[in-house]
Amino acid sequence: MIELGRRFVLIALVLVISIGGFVGLQHLRHPGAPSMLENYALDFRVGYCAAEAARHGQDPYLVEPLRACEHRVGLEPSEPAWSVTPLPLPSYAIAMFVPLSWLPFALAKTLYLTIMLLSFGLTAAALGAMLRAPTLAVALVLAPMAGYLNLLYGEPVPFAIGALCVAGYLLELDRPRWAAAVAALAAVQPHLALPALVALFIFRPRARVALLAALGVLAVLGLATLGFERNLEYFTTVLPLHARAEVLANDQFGLSRVLYLLGVAEKTALMLGSLSYALAAIVGLIFARRFANALDRPALLVLFPVAAVTFGGAFIHDVQIAAALPAMLLLAQTSWLPRIGLGLLAVLWWDNFSGELVRVVLAAAGAMFVIFPRDSWQIRLSWLVGAPVLGLLLLLALPPDAGYSFETIGTPNPAVRDTDPASVAWGWRISLSPGRTVPSKRVELEKVPVWLALGLLFFVRLRPKAYRSPSLANR
């Protein structure tokens, strides 16, 4: 734990100084430009307003008072007066936002961005300790997907990834009880955390009591925050409605969206997507145990099932797919196909070419020190040159961007009522925004490298015992 603390302090200092310098430089070069506070953590207002509603004893899953608060603290460009962005998170996750809701919005958002940045640093520190690699190099590999993309939207995915990586680190130290307590915090993203928690319960009997206790604390916190009826509303109303709304969205990577585009009925597509999630979780658990035992990597027990469920499912965004990176990094030290997958997943396929060039080169340079620590300089150099070239050639091969706007056209019929679930209004907004729903060749092709990268995770060459990378407890 001392090593983790040391690594975390160092990377936190680097991140804070780097971001501070970047913000200061941007302010000097473009004094009138929007600040980082305005351009990042775009979805924080949703968590802030849901927490504010819960604090006042109101229902955070309904159109009002969520809409009034969101429009007060930060109206999106061209956002219609009737629209609202829902927060499809359980009550205990909303409770985590409540302390921030006592603060003015700008201060709360600043604090939230800082915590997200520190969570990213904690992820890099835990992985660096497990990989015996420089923490900064690990941070460079994680930066495009787990860093930039998640800081941009501000969803609580970095907290879940950080908790899972620390839990994996504790498993490597043979401290399963502490690992269970920390892993429970990842339930802020329930569909990512669930297979990891199941793996802990099945494969680490000593973790069971601590895991059940931690989940019990979250349940009590959720009941105290919203009460029984609104918790029931979340499972019976909010989740199904939100899944129906998102099956229309272009930025969904799940199987349900693919089936829907192929003409499968919405209800059937959602059901098959849910089944594919369950199947991916089961397969992930089987492979996690096999890889963890063969490679002497206990951390894979929690990290691999999470990576597995990002492949398919009914609801998965690119920000959540970043949760596959930790398992991919651990496996990339032992096998070539996960290395290729890591190269594919380090590219933000929807982004502009010039911005992507810098991030891919930095990620490739970091990977050279993380996944090739004992290889020859020729192999490391081939990666440094080959990974960016592969990614950028694929990026150039994509058709031109169609230039869709996310502007909403028209109004819902029937009108959105104050007492409707917020996901109903969200469904209308998606359906009335051609840029969010109309499929294009580029939009769908952008997803192929991501799916390919996730598929390569399952093709790991298990080396003889002499070539294993031993866990921390056995070093």
Chain segment 157-207, per-residue pLDDT in tens: 999 999 999 999 999 999 999 999 999 999 999 999 999 999 999 999 999
The H or E element containing residue 106 is: helix 105-131
Per-residue pLDDT tens digits for 118-166 = 999 999 999 999 999 889 989 988 988 888 888 888 889 999 999 999 9
Question: What percent of the residues of the chain are helix, what percent strand, and what percent coil, each to the nearest 5?
Answer: 70, 0, 25
Q: Please say if the pLDDT value at position 16 is more than 80.
A: no
Residue 394 pLDDT > 90: no
Examine residue 164 and state whether it is found in any structural domain, yes or no. Answer: yes
Q: Peptide bond preceding 414: is omega within 30 degrees of 0, i.e. cis?
A: yes
The reported pLDDT for the residue numbered 172 is 94
What local confidence, expressed as pLDDT, does residue 467 receive?
Answer: 39
Whether 419 is in a domain gets the answer: no
- DSSP lists the bridge partners of residue 62 as 421
In contact, 396 and 353? CB cutoff 8 Å:
yes
With CA atoms as reference, report the closest residue to 357 among 328, 402, 389, 314.
389
Q: Which residues contact 255 (CB under 8 A, 6 or more apart)?
A: 269, 272, 273, 276, 312, 313, 314
Nearest-CA neighbor of 431 among 266, 261, 265, 248?
248
Query: Which pLDDT belongs to residue 24?
Result: 58
> In terms of Cα–Cα distance, which of 138, 137, 217 is closest to 181?
217
Average pLDDT over residues 372-376: 66
Residue 77 forms part of a structural domain: yes
Does residue 414 belong to any structural domain of this protein? Answer: no
**Mean pLDDT of the 456-472 span:** 63
Residue type, 395: L
pLDDT given at position 203: 96
What is d(CA 463, CA 295) in angstroms, rounded to the nearest whole number?
8
Tokens of 259: 């089936």
**Phi first, then psi: what are they for 62, rounded to 5°?**
-100, 165
Q: Is the per-residue pLDDT at 295 higher than 80?
A: yes
Query: For the whole model, what pTM was predicted?
Result: 0.91
**Stronger pLDDT, 410 or 303, i.e. the higher one:** 303
Instruction: Identify whether 178 is part of a domain.
Output: yes
Query: Whole-angstrom Cα distance, residue 399 to residue 180?
Result: 46
* Burial degree of 461 (CB within 10 A; 0-12, 13-18, 19+): exposed
CB 152 within 8 A of CB 42: yes
State the residue range of the domain holding 276: 2-399+424-474
- Which tokens hold the place of 263? 């003409």
368-to-121, 137, 176, 328, 342 alpha-carbon distances in Å: 19, 8, 31, 14, 12
Report yes or no on 144 lying in a domain.
yes
Tell whether 415 is covered by a domain. no
> Where does the pLDDT of residue 475 fall: very low under 50, low under 70, confident under 90, or very high at 90 and above?
low
Q: Is the per-residue pLDDT at 21 higher than 70? A: no
Would you call 381 helix, strand, or coil by DSSP? helix
**Which of 251, 250, 321 lies closest to 280 in space, CA to CA?**
321
Asked if residue 407 belongs to a domain, the reply is no
Question: Which of 20-24, 69-73, 415-419 bottoms out in mean pLDDT, i.e. has the lowest?
Answer: 20-24
Q: pLDDT tier at 222 (50, 70, 90 boundaries)?
A: very high
CA–CA separation, 433 vs 455, rounded Å? 31
**In the chain, pLDDT over 70 holds for what percent of residues?**
86
Structural domain tally of the chain? 1
Residue type, 13: L
Please provide the average confidence, as pLDDT, over all residues in the chain. 86
Q: What integer pLDDT is reported at residue 353 of this predicted model?
A: 57
Average pLDDT over residues 260-264: 90
